[in-house]
């Protein structure tokens, strides 16, 4: 007989209507949501095995790679980060981490827990790294692995990667890239840029619910796994076992999150349907329109010019405007969620995401008109519709509707 009494059973949960324009999760396409509701099949069912194969092939397209070891880890993007670090690092291995925001800093913490000898190079929030800095850092402190973030979710900074792998490889190291916020939003050419290991998340530009972490590892990284002298410290994230589960022998490891894998498969099918080029162009145009709209009402951007992601804009909160008051009003009156600043940018910026299914012209104008209203009501002098007009001028450049 249970001793703790039965709580009143709640009615089915009904989420309020939201427009997710923060740093993630982003709004999920209806086809992906429908997939989540389909009946389960077993994780070793031949049909599910087929779905895993199909997902791997679709992921290879999204990552632009032929890497065999391309799969979705059964955790969120942070589990992807930990997977890459604990598999490539053995205790005492030197690792160089490039830190220009929260997620670079997190990689340091993860690497230290894996007992790496961590060296860092740092850049202020909103800036990115020059290849030469990395070259110098590796000369001073040779490393086994170099970790860098392509799209810093805390700052909206877009790190160019094209020249970095060569420098890293010349120094005998592996390049590990955080692509949580970049995958399927801006170009990421894993093979052409010779990146050795990448992790991502599902809830940003893939517009899938959070819960899986796509990863891909190239030949050099796979050799490093094979040459390990110690077991990976995490059983759950040990790729030597996970790859056998996703591979041809279907060795049982853990029970894959069935419904989440349904969702990822549909999200990736939508990427294939649209095509990466069109998808990148859509994100670029929406971001450019948003940034033009903000400029038109005098709102500055926190991220250094030339390094701004289109899918995540860090807008400077105007002097005298209360961060939380605006965000609460956006949520209450329009159902719009945007993100607040993190670390040194707390209270100073809004992080506005136009990601995946959310990167649509209608969201740009909805957000700008809502923001204009909020600011005007707070006494900020904002010319009526100036931001929407400036954004629309950008959006109309292509002569085609920007939607999905």
| Contact set for a second copy, span 60-79 (CB under 8 A) | 60-61, 64-66, 74-79
Q: Which of residues 136-175 bind a second copy (CB under 8 A)?
A: none
Interacting stretch for a second copy, rule CB under 8 A, among 127-135, 164-172, 256-264, 318-326? 256-264
Taking the complex as a whole, how short is the minimal distance between the CB of residue 130 and a second copy, in angstroms?
25
Query: Of 145, 232, 239, 374, which lies in the binding site for a second copy, with binding defined by CB under 8 A?
Result: 232
Contact yes or no for 316/299 (Cβ under 8 A): yes
Task: Kindly give, in sequence order, each residue whose CB lies less than 8 Å from that of residue 27, ignoring residues fewer than 6 positions away.
Answer: 18, 19, 20, 207, 356, 357, 358
Tokens of 213: 């972490």
Q: Which of residues 22-41 bind a second copy (CB under 8 A)?
A: 22, 24-25, 27-28, 31, 33-41
- Is residue 182 part of the contact set for a second copy (CB under 8 A)? no
Contact yes or no for 332/315 (Cβ under 8 A): no
- Is residue 342 part of the contact set for a second copy (CB under 8 A)? yes
Query: Of 160, 210, 298, 318, which lies in the binding site for a second copy, with binding defined by CB under 8 A?
Result: 210
- Is residue 51 part of the contact set for a second copy (CB under 8 A)? yes
Exposure string over 110-131, b if 16+ CB within 10 A, otherwise e: bbeebebbbbbbebebbbbbeb
Rounded Cα distance between 234 and 224, Å, is 17
Query: Of 49, 105, 225, 269, which lies in the binding site for a second copy, with binding defined by CB under 8 A?
Result: 269
Query: Of 68, 113, 169, 376, which lies in the binding site for a second copy, with binding defined by CB under 8 A?
Result: 113
- Is residue 396 part of the contact set for a second copy (CB under 8 A)? no
Rounded Cα distance between 354 and 201, Å, is 16
Running DSSP on this structure, what letter comes out for residue 330? I
Contact yes or no for 178/156 (Cβ under 8 A): no
Query: Of 122, 223, 251, 273, which lies in the binding site for a second copy, with binding defined by CB under 8 A?
Result: 273
Taking the complex as a whole, how short is the minimal distance between the CB of residue 155 and a second copy, in angstroms?
15
Give the chain's end-to-end CA distance (angstroms, integer).
54
Contact yes or no for 181/153 (Cβ under 8 A): yes
Taking the complex as a whole, how short is the minimal distance between the CB of residue 99 and a second copy, in angstroms?
15
What number of residues does the chain have? 404
Rounded Cα distance between 198 and 175, Å, is 9
Rounded Cα distance between 329 and 137, Å, is 46
CB closer to a second copy, 53 vs 130? 53
Interacting stretch for a second copy, rule CB under 8 A, among 125-133, 225-233, 289-297, 311-319? 225-233
Query: Of 52, 58, 97, 289, which lies in the binding site for a second copy, with binding defined by CB under 8 A?
Result: 58
- Is residue 293 part of the contact set for a second copy (CB under 8 A)? no
CB closer to a second copy, 18 vs 169? 18
Rounded Cα distance between 69 and 285, Å, is 33
- Is residue 321 part of the contact set for a second copy (CB under 8 A)? no
- Is residue 324 part of the contact set for a second copy (CB under 8 A)? no
- Is residue 200 part of the contact set for a second copy (CB under 8 A)? no
Maximum Cα–Cα distance for the chain, whole Å?
69
Taking the complex as a whole, how short is the minimal distance between the CB of residue 380 and a second copy, in angstroms?
25
Closest CA to 354 of 395, 326, 321, 323: 395
* Beta bridge pairs of residue 145: 95, 174
Sign of torsion, CA 54 187 22 109?
Answer: positive
Query: Of 133, 191, 323, 385, which lies in the binding site for a second copy, with binding defined by CB under 8 A?
Result: 191
Taking the complex as a whole, how short is the minimal distance between the CB of residue 105 and a second copy, in angstroms?
11
> H or E stretch including 119?
strand 117-122
Taking the complex as a whole, how short is the minimal distance between the CB of residue 166 and a second copy, in angstroms?
17
Closest CA to 312 of 212, 394, 204: 204
Taking the complex as a whole, how short is the minimal distance between the CB of residue 274 and a second copy, in angstroms?
8
Interacting stretch for a second copy, rule CB under 8 A, among 92-100, 246-254, 315-323, 367-375? 246-254
- Is residue 375 part of the contact set for a second copy (CB under 8 A)? no
């Amino acid at each position: 007989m249970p001793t703790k009494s039965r709580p009143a059973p709640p009615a089915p949960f009904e989420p309020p209507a939201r427009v997710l324009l923060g740093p993630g999760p982003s709004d999920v396409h209806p086809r992906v949501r429908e997939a989540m509701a389909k009946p389960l099949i077993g994780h070793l069912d031949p049909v599910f095995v087929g779905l895993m194969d199909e997902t791997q092939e679709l992921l290879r397209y999204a990552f632009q790679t032929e890497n065999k070891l391309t799969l979705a880890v059964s955790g969120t993007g942070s589990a992807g980060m930990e997977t890459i670090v604990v598999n490539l690092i053995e205790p005492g291995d030197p690792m160089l981490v490039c830190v220009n925001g929260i997620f670079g800093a997190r990689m340091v913490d993860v690497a230290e827990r894996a007992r790496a000898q961590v060296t860092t190079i740092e850049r202020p929030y909103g800036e990115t790294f020059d290849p030469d800095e990395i070259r110098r850092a590796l000369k001073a402190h040779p490393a086994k692995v170099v970790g860098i973030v392509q799209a810093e979710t805390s700052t909206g900074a877009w790190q160019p990667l094209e020249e970095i792998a060569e420098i890293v490889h010349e120094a005998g190291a592996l390049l590990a890239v955080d692509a949580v916020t970049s995958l399927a939003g801006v170009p990421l050419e894993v093979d052409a840029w010779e990146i050795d290991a990448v992790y991502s998340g599902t809830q940003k530009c893939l517009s899938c619910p959070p819960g899986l972490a796509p990863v891909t590892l190239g030949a050099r990284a796979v050799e490093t796994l094979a040459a390990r002298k110690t077991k990976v410290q995490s059983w759950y994230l040990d790729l030597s076992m996970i790859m056998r589960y996703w591979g041809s022998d279907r060795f049982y490891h853990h029970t894959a999150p069935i419904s989440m894998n349904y969702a990822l498969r549909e999200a990736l099918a939508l990427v294939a349907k649209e095509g990466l080029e069109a998808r990148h162009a859509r994100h670029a145009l929406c971001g450019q329109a948003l940034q033009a709209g903000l400029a038109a009402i005098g709102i500055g951007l926190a991220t250094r010019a030339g390094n701004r992601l289109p899918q995540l804009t860090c807008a400077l909160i105007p002097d005298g405007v209360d961060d939380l008051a605006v965000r609460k009003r956006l949520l209450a009156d329009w159902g719009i969620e945007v993100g607040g600043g993190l670390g040194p940018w707390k209270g100073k910026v809004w992080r506005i995401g136009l990601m995946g299914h959310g990167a649509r012209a209608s969201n740009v104008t909805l957000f700008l008109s809502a923001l204009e209203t909020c600011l005007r009501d707070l006494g900020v002098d904002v010319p009526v519709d100036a931001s929407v007009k400036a954004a629309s001028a950008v959006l109309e450049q292509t002569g085609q509707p920007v939607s999905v």
